[in-house]
Structure 1
Amino acid sequence: MIIFGGNSTEHEVSIISASNVIKNISKEKYNLFLVRINKKGEWYLYSGDINNILNKNWENDKNNKKVLIFPNVGIVIIEKDSYKTINIDVAFPVLHGKNGEDGTIQGLLKLANIPVVGCETASSAVCMDKIFTNSILKFNNINKPDFMWFYYYDFEKNPEKYLNQVEKFPVFIKPANSGSSIGVNRAYNKQELENFIKIASGYDEKILVENAIIGQEVECSVIGNEDLTASILGEIVTKDGFYDYDGKYINDTSELIIPARLSEKITNQVKNIVLKSYKILGCKGFARVDLLVEKNSNEIYLNEINTIPGFTTISMYPKLMNEIGYKMPKLIDNLVDLALKNYKNV
């Protein structure tokens, strides 16, 4: 079962990712059930032409049927005057952002005894919340850019208290629970800082303010449960030094360089940090780890861990995995196998 869409600001990205997964998955090996979640959070079984997923015609397909997840059964299809059940061997949530990447879907599937591709409930929730991620990694001596965080309702009571704590610019302002750089902005002064905090509050009540690191932005794909494989490193080069939503999914303002322009020594250090962080946060199956290498010192900072990275044709996770021999069909097969093995172990 492939689940896509979702009640999230990253709904459209999920559809693009899922479309690519569906096109590349073996139709001979798997009996596919496609479950789409609309922006209202309603679940439907889609059985139409997969080519219509990208153009949104699938939303109005008359053959769509409402479905429910049911423990020890799988999915229940609701028809006019009846229902039927379908056993599900494994679920692949190709969902991004809240209500998909934050442990909610993972917890639901676990309660229903359905093996799930990717991270489990706790690690998904922790990695989605940038403040939890930062705090846990910092406690375990993983380099993080200096940061502070607060609830927006506290900020509203006394803005100056928080604004005055920022002594050095630029800084990044991020909603604690958001992906694809949605709601993220870079501030160069106090006025911008205040404005961008207000924007971020539209996505989450918890706000993160983080020092900007000047240097190279690198990414590493990871696959595995206990035995882990780190990919070759990729480097993101942007025109203005900020890899935002448009640069990731819409325009060509960003350049992807594979392999990253780093020495062998730094590359190995990055990979060690990647694998250590993956284990610390309890990740399973796969993830993409984003890091920063400071320009002058070569100091390595972990930025974020994405537990359901993009699977679009231009996404870094599948690109990097392809470089080490995991073409999309093989990659999907391995992710499904890892999900089944993890389910048996749990």
Structure 2
Amino acid sequence: MAKLRVGLLFGGCSGEHEVSIASARAIASALTTPPNGDRYDLLPVYIQKEGCWQAGRLAQQVLETGVALSDSDPAAAIHRWQFPSAIAEVEVWFPVLHGPNGEDGTVQGLLRLMQVPFVGSGVLASAMGMDKLAMKMAFAHAGLPQVQYLAVSRGEVWSNPCVFPQLCDRIETTLGYPCFVKPANLGSSVGISKVRTRGQLEAALDAAASYDRRLIVEAGVVAREVECAILGNDTPRASVVGEITYQSDFYDYETKYTLGRADLVIPAKLPTEIAETVQTMAIQAFKAIDGAGLARVDCFYIEASGAVLINEINTLPGFTATSMYPQLWQHSGLEFSELVHQLVQLALAGS
């Protein structure tokens, strides 16, 4: 039987370029070793940070070394967005592009135009999964409980001296301290600040506005951070629930990507009814944005009251062997290589 040609799309024009390479290396290994090696023919396609697409030797080099290709490399000097001819042979895409320009609907729209099936959510769900404000509106419409939040525009932050203080007054009155200031459209905790004072709030708003024109400010809660993995299309299923523990003030970029700064507890030590609530809410969140293929849903469990609040959904979570998403499925009885196989089959089924 002929092998299916899988295009592994990785790298990308975002601050999560190196994370994408790490995820792609793990997926490439799973696709090229038995039994998947007998099912699939892998074509790695690497997008450089400035947008050049590479296939063949250069893409394979990045996969093997784990080192991003230098934009000044003479061998990589092709026109931006000029596609390698080999991509015409791709029968199904496996995009592993984290962050803006990768999981926000942009690349998904391009792949849709190619009329080739691809792993993961489509344009709408990807865009909503990246945009925290659109996501929260979808969750609210689905009746999912959330932390209190306010939407803020860059225009309000970078405004005249009369408007900005009024904005800060409104945040203090409505949400209080501590609260979190976030760009609406960035992943991996980039640009996020936890603030406790007026001075910190003003600085955090200014910093977040430098990343995005739309911001979100959320009330802080004393809660455990628990996560659930989703797999499927029209009938998604939920994994066991895991928990992230850390010693830092919050789960910021440095904590997330520095070895030893955070621990994953799988399965999380939760009452059975709480774990089931998290799983149910995770599936509801996935359906609320019209997700497909995979997602990781993050929730807050407030032990003092027993409440579970939806935090956010990630439609293309980290995918190394030690990342939360594949580990949740491993503890649910689904090994990494079989998980990757099922995702490719879900892409074909949903096309």
> What is the TM-score with the length of structure 2 in the denominator?
0.89
Q: Aligned-pair distance for 1:208?
A: 0.5
Specify which of 57, 64, 67 is matched with residue 52 of structure 1: 64
Pairs aligned (count)? 333
Q: Which residue of 2 aligns with 1:33?
A: 43
Pair 104,51 (structure 1): closer, same or farther in 2 beyond 3 Å:
closer
Query: 2 CA distance for matches of 1:338 and 1:68?
Result: 31
* CA deviation string 1:255-309 (max 9, x = no partner): 1111112100111111111111111110000000000011311211111100000
Coordinate RMSD, CA, aligned: 2.1
Q: Aligned-pair distance for 1:56?
A: 3.3
* CA deviation string 1:166-187 (max 9, x = no partner): 2311111111001111111111
Query: 1 CA distance for matches of 2:132 and 2:155?
Result: 18
Within 5 A, what are the aligned runs for 1:310-329? 310-329=318-337
Gaps of 5+ in 1: 78-83
Specify which of 171, 177, 195 is matched with residue 166 of structure 1: 171
Question: Structure 1 residue 8 and structure 2 residue 14: aligned?
Answer: yes
Q: Which residue of 2 aligns with 1:80?
A: none
Q: Which residue of 1 aligns with 2:4?
A: none
**Secondary structure at the counterpart of residue 91 of structure 1:** strand
Q: Aligned-pair distance for 1:314?
A: 2.4
Q: Which residue of 2 aligns with 1:284?
A: 292
Query: 1 CA distance for matches of 2:290 and 2:63?
Result: 36
Query: 2 CA distance for matches of 1:85 and 1:231?
Result: 34
* CA contact 1:171–1:188 (8 Å) conserved in 2: yes
* CA deviation string 1:213-259 (max 9, x = no partner): 21100000010001221001000111134112222222311111111
Q: Percent identity?
A: 35
Query: 1 CA distance for matches of 2:301 and 2:87?
Result: 51
Query: 1 CA distance for matches of 2:238 and 2:223?
Result: 22
* CA contact 1:69–1:112 (8 Å) conserved in 2: no
Residue type of the partner of 1:227? T
Higher helix share goes to which structure?
2
Within 5 A, what are the aligned runs for 1:63-102? 76-77=84-85, 86-102=88-104
Q: Which residue of 2 aligns with 1:106?
A: 108
> What is the TM-score with the length of structure 1 in the denominator?
0.91
Pair 155,268 (structure 1): closer, same or farther in 2 beyond 3 Å:
same
* CA contact 2:300–2:310 (8 Å) conserved in 1: yes
Q: Aligned-pair distance for 1:69?
A: 8.0
Pair 339,68 (structure 1): closer, same or farther in 2 beyond 3 Å:
farther
Within 5 A, what are the aligned runs for 1:1-346? 1-26=7-32, 27-47=37-57, 48-49=60-61, 52-56=64-68, 76-77=84-85, 86-157=88-159, 158-167=163-172, 168-343=176-351
Structure 1 runs of 4+ with >3 Å offset: 48-53, 56-70
Pair 67,324 (structure 1): closer, same or farther in 2 beyond 3 Å:
farther
